[in-house]
Amino acid sequence: MKIAFVYDAIYPWVKGGAEKRIYELGKRLAERGDEVHLFGIKWWEGDDVIEYEYMTLHGVCAARELYVNGRRSITEALIFSVRLFPHLLKERFDVIDVSVFPYFSCFTVKAVSVIRRSPAFFTWHEVWDDYWYDYMGKMGIFGRIVERVVSKISSNTIAVSDMTKKNLGSLGLDGQKITVVPNGIDLDRILVNPPANEICDVLFAGRLIKEKNVDMLLRSMLRIQNEFPAVKLHIIGQGPEKENLLDLVEDLGIEDNVEFFDFMEYDELIGRIKSSKIFVLPSIREGFGMVVVEAFACGSPVITVKAKKNAAQYLVDMSCGCVAEPDPDAIADSIKKIVQNDPVLQEMSKAAVEKSEKYEWNNIVSELLCTYGELK
């Protein structure tokens, strides 16, 4: 089978859940003999088209900033969608799988699908709907309109979580025509990966953007510090909020308890998660929450928050973590219940590893191939 994945950001040059999903699925499909092409922005030096991990990567335009003033760049998304058209049209594919956000590339994929008569699959990681107003204020009406228009051309629809599938119903899509194919993990690689030498109590890893609510986690550390002054928090990631977060650490006076790290190579990141007691994801917006399942596989209980757009909360239960209210006091209380209680920590750690087993990537590849066969 000849398969094209379309997304402007490409792993490992850009690290995030959607990027990692495409990379892991594409690599495994290629290893089984499928011809896999990734179409995105050219993040690498050298030729526009390169071979990487048995896949063919197409850089359709020069690298540009994905975020402007803390928000996804509309200009970048438009340029990518326009430049994508001639590159994608050059070849005929058995399947074209486009990650829906940031939307404009969906129109390009639909046009090529019609011209080339190649089945197009629309993979939805999230549904924003009225969240557009929180993200852009009154201008969010335009984002909401574009999202709804894309939903109307989304004929073969894949959702990465049950929550995303449910939210697609609010856009008028028939739930019976939506297939859930979740994100996954490389369980064997995680299990053999050694923990890092440096141990921390609490860890966050992800893109440093407002929706991740890392500032809330920092404020919770101020509450924890009063009772457990030696508790350490490590924050791994980069993004437009980093300077603000560094300033907040200084303002709160918790410099001795918090340390920042840039994005890491995957094995190093897994080692860091393994050497932490608790993983905290206070995000109010997650289409799935892949890092939650990775933390489970590392034996780290997870604390996340209750939020309308946070699918990660449905991965976590009382056996392997906690779902707290989205405020510093509630997060602090949840951390304190686990971090210094070794019997609870060990029990949750064991349950977390067991929970992670069903998300192995090879199982997800089989689900995806069945979906391609059933829907096209």
User: DSSP for 241-287?
Assistant: THHHHHHHHHHHT-TTTEEEE----HHHHHHHHHTEEEEEE--SEES
Handedness of CA 128, 132, 134, 136 (dihedral sign): positive
**Are the folds of 2-184+360-375 and 187-358 the same?**
yes
pLDDT of residue 316: 96
What's the CATH class of domain 187-358?
Answer: alpha beta
Matching residue, tokens 């006076």: 253
Fold of 2-184+360-375: Rossmann fold (3.40.50)
CA distance 102 to 264: 25
Q: What integer pLDDT is reported at residue 375 of this predicted model?
A: 61
Residue boundaries of the structural domains of the chain: 2-184+360-375, 187-358
CB 208 within 8 A of CB 241: yes
Q: What is the pLDDT of residue 376?
A: 54
Whether residue 307 contacts residue 281, with contact meaning beta carbons closer than 8 Å, is answered with no
- Read off the pLDDT of residues 188-241 as tens digits, 9 standing for 90 and up: 999 999 999 999 999 999 999 999 999 999 999 999 988 899 999 999 999 999
φ, ψ for residue 313, nearest 5 deg: -65, -25
**Residues 88 and 96 sit within 8 Å (Cβ to Cβ):** yes
Residue 70: the pLDDT is 77
The structure's pTM equals 0.83
Contact between 20 and 290 (Cβ < 8 Å): yes
Residues of the chain with pLDDT under 50: none
> From the CB of residue 278, how many other CB atoms can be counted at a distance below 10 Å?
25
